[in-house]
Amino acid sequence: MGRTYMDCDTKKQIILRTATKHFANAGFDGARVDEIAAEAGVNKAMLYYRVGNKEALYEEIFVETIGGVLSQIEKEIRDEDSPEQQLTKFATVFAGSLNNNPFIAPLILREVASGGTHMNDQAIFKMNQIRTLLATILKKGEKKNVFRPSNPLLIHILLIGTLNFYSASASIRNKLSENVNKKVNREEDKKDFILPISVVATEVVNLVLNSIRINN
């Protein structure tokens, strides 16, 4: 019956969602299969039956997570947009993803920190597609003579690194801000710590545009 299929899909989705949270919060080694199964409301053996093992579970959620970001960006960027518009969208859509799903940034940061230990080919492929997408935008701008030549990787890291770091650092920034406000009780300082990520995205992309844009 369709119902059974739907139930299955749903259950799998719940497992993946729960696993994403645990892997993001605790890392691959810190996450506990028991806890994931319990929180997802499925029997542990069932989880293995459906997913394979911890490694496979991780790979699945990682690809899914990165894939989500990629498809979001691809969906929003139109061919008819100007390179400048496309670059801006790249940053803001990425930031939007991080904002909607707070587990993306920790997952990426941990994976980067570990040198991609747990990334499979699919994950590498999708990460690369994101990078390629940005490079294409920049090349297109160069061709249209609206962007100066630039190092795409540098700009990629600038955007992705900054936004991921900002997104993931929310709770550390909280700690730091508490630490600050104990001593100096300036309201302005406190405000600086709670900048929305959309603003960060805009600022960073403007910085980049100011640098590579060719004005006439």
Partner DNA sequence: TATGAATGAGGATTCATTCAT
Partner DNA sequence: AATGAATGAATCCTCATTCAT
Residue 45 contacts which entry, DNA, a copy of itself, none (Cβ below 5-8 A, type-dependent): DNA
**Which of 106, 137, 141, 205 forms a contact with a copy of itself (CB under 8 A)?**
106
**Which of 34, 178, 189, 192 forms a contact with DNA (CB under 7 A)?**
34
Letter string b/e over residues 144-171, b meaning 16 or more CB atoms within 10 A of that residue's CB: eebbeebebeebbebbbebbbebbbbee
3-state secondary structure 168-197: HCHHHHHHHHHHHHHHCCCHHHHHHHCCCH
- 203 binds DNA per the rule CB under 7 A: no
- 193 binds DNA per the rule CB under 7 A: no
- 196 binds a copy of itself per the rule CB under 8 A: no
- 117 binds DNA per the rule CB under 7 A: no
Please state whether 186 falls in left (phi above 0), alpha (psi between -120 and 50) or beta: beta
- Locate 99 and state its tokens: 């904002």
Of 174, 147, 150, 159, nearest in space to 105 by CA: 159
Q: Cβ distance 47 to 34 under 8 Å?
A: no
- 17 binds DNA per the rule CB under 7 A: no
- 112 binds DNA per the rule CB under 7 A: no
**Which of 7, 9, 55, 203 forms a contact with a copy of itself (CB under 8 A)?**
203
Comparing CB distances to DNA, the nearer of 106 and 141 is: 106
- 57 binds a copy of itself per the rule CB under 8 A: no
Q: Is 89 helix (H, G, I), strand (E, B) or coil?
A: helix
Residue 33 contacts which entry, a copy of itself, DNA, none (Cβ below 5-8 A, type-dependent): DNA
Binding interface with DNA (CB under 7 A): 1, 4, 7-8, 11, 31-34, 42-46, 48-50, 53-55
